Structure 1
Amino acid sequence: NIYAAYTGAHMKELEAKQALWRKYGMDDHLLLDREALRKLVDSEAYCGGMLDISGGHMHPLNLVLGEARAFESLGGTIYEMSPVARVDHKRARPTVHTREGEVSARLVVLCGNAYLGEAVPELVSRVMPVSTQMITTAPLGEELADALIPSDMCVEDVRYILDYFRLSADKRMIFGGGTVYGGTDPADVVAKLRPNLEKVFPRLKGVKIDYAWSGNFALSFTRMPQMGRIGANTYFAHGYSGHGVTGSHLFGRTLAEAIDGDQTRFDMFEKLPWYPFPGGRLFRAQYSTIGSWWYSFKDAVGW
């Protein structure tokens, strides 16, 4: 994985991160100057960056499909298209209510994240849905694709509102970015992301975009994920703030341990403090947007 820096201030931030992580035994992050980064990502947009030699990238849809198959092979049942309207977690056996019925269970684990909606009012103020967008180009061909990212690594820049991208197996450029607080979708995803794509890779100016989509992640005010319990037998985990693939798997294991009787790691996470968003539910998106303008200004001027 590569963290790309636009400014000297970004490089100082990466230097500080490298020093902090080394204190905890993570000595696998290498700082890169402009020339070293250019050998990995052929873009003039960046002044340097940092290489995480322990990182990697995967196909997240294939991951979840594989996990679903494993779950079903062990006797589990997945009910799709069954939105939950509310959860009564105060009973000894919590009850999940859908539009067409209800399910009573010994234990309930709430993992709706950005899509939990109003089903559990106690959790609504803990996180805010935020949408991020992605586009995928037509196949670029091996020669062009390998020239743009010779390392075939995944890349993200370190701005507050960041871009992130990688190559697919069939040599398309998958490019993501953009943020809409509150979880609404922009009217035109391609129009929003194409300028950033072409800024990073001018050689892709006018390239055909085959796919474009938008989806939500759950942002916590502190950017730390949250795990806990409401009622005696209802657990929850959410707020991964853009790092859900890693965070949800860690929390899934921790929740499984807690349900199986080992509360050690669960208790540590449950005790971490959380803070509501300024402005409450009504104005949290507006306040967050205004705050993002300030940090985006700092990124632009190199503070």
Structure 2
Amino acid sequence: MGRLKGSKSLWERYGHQQLELLEGEEVKREVGSTRYVGALVDHSGGHLHPLNLVLGQAVALESLGGKIFEHSPVTRVEHGEPVTLHTPKGRVTAQRVVMAGNAYLQGLLPKLESKAMPCGTQIITTEPLSAELAARLLPNDKAVEDCNYLLDYYRLTADNRLLYGGGVNYGGQASSSIEAAIRPKMLSTFPELGDVRVDYAWSGNFLLTLNRLPQFGRINSNVYYAQGYSGHGVTCSHLAGKLVAETISGEEARFEAFAQISHLPMPGGRLLRVPLSAMGAWFYAMRDRLAV
């Protein structure tokens, strides 16, 4: 609760006045679970369908004359003026390049690879729930994330499925069974879903930085990069796009505010960063279980 109160105070100091702190039984107004002792409600927030968002952005890009080439991965970047991007079947030259592949750029930004690590997260989605059950789980249709070090996050979909995600696989390896990894987490929050079928399960990688802050910068003045959102990519990547566009247009101040953030290498280097991160996560997960 101290952490939630601190967040509320900090955000309000910078002008965010649409926050509400809930304690004890008040939490059940938003989440039908006995798992929580408190909550911070952001009344300005919401949830969205990320795939529909990116499909809509693709349509918008193409309507403005942009072109999208799928299934043509960049295998090597040859820096210079212009920059040459090599693909399996050809190459592209460009005066400016924006690298926005986040956790999927292995080998293309070698100087940054020691300062971030791909991590996998998993999601399951239930069969459609009755309107009554869905309203009991999330009475006001809020999207939720908890405060654990290895946090859980969930929301209702438009067709009343519960989408539930969580866990971290350091290094980005996929779980052998996503449902086996995530279903127990879902049931610890909503035990009444024990007989509910899971219809979908998937995973994907995000890019984790040591300080959990994004990496913005440029290489040789004409290759820009923005990555390392540490689990907040849907929101932060949109800010990144705006700031990269600003700096290419000559308005560099806001981009540079991020570019000047110092980033340290992940402990253990490429060989030991995964086991060391897993050990640290185990320690903090134990603190969460013991409510320390």
The TM-score by the shorter chain falls in which range? over 0.9
Comparing 27-36 with 201-210, greater Cα deviation is found at 27-36
Comparing 34-43 with 158-167, greater Cα deviation is found at 34-43
Residue 65 of structure 2 is matched in structure 1 by: 75
2:243 aligned counterpart, secondary structure: helix
2:108 pairs with 1:119: yes
Q: Deviations over 1:88-122 (max 9, x none)?
A: 12x11111111111111010000110001112212
Distance 1:273 1:285 in 2: 22
Query: Please, what TM-score do these two structures have when normalized by structure 2?
Result: 0.98
CA contact (8 A) 1:166 1:174 kept: yes
2:253 pairs with 1:264: yes
Distance 2:246 2:139 in 1: 42
Pairing partner for 1:200 from 177, 189, 200: 189
Distance 1:98 1:125 in 2: 24
Pairing partner for 1:234 from 223, 232, 238: 223
1:125 aligned counterpart, secondary structure: helix
Q: Deviations over 1:22-45 (max 9, x none)?
A: 222222221101211112111011
Pairing partner for 1:52 from 36, 39, 42: 42
Percent of aligned positions that are identical = 50
CA contact (8 A) 1:86 1:120 kept: no
Distance 2:256 2:190 in 1: 46
Q: Could you tell me which amino acid in structure 2 is paired with residue 63 of structure 1?
A: L
2:10 pairs with 1:20: yes
Pairing partner for 2:30 from 40, 61, 84: 40
Residue 94 of structure 1 is matched in structure 2 by: 83
2:146 pairs with 1:157: yes
Shift of 1:145: 0.7
Moved over 2 A (4+): none
2:93 pairs with 1:104: yes
2:213 pairs with 1:221: no
Distance 1:190 1:272 in 2: 38
Q: Deviations over 1:124-149 (max 9, x none)?
A: 22221000000000001211111111
Question: Structure 1 regions of 5+ residues with no counterpart?
Answer: 1-10
Shift of 1:217: 0.4
CA contact (8 A) 1:92 1:232 kept: no
Distance 1:128 1:198 in 2: 30
Question: Structure 2 regions of 5+ residues with no counterpart?
Answer: none
Query: Please, what TM-score do these two structures have when normalized by structure 1?
Result: 0.94
Shift of 1:151: 0.9
Give the number of aligned pairs. Answer: 292
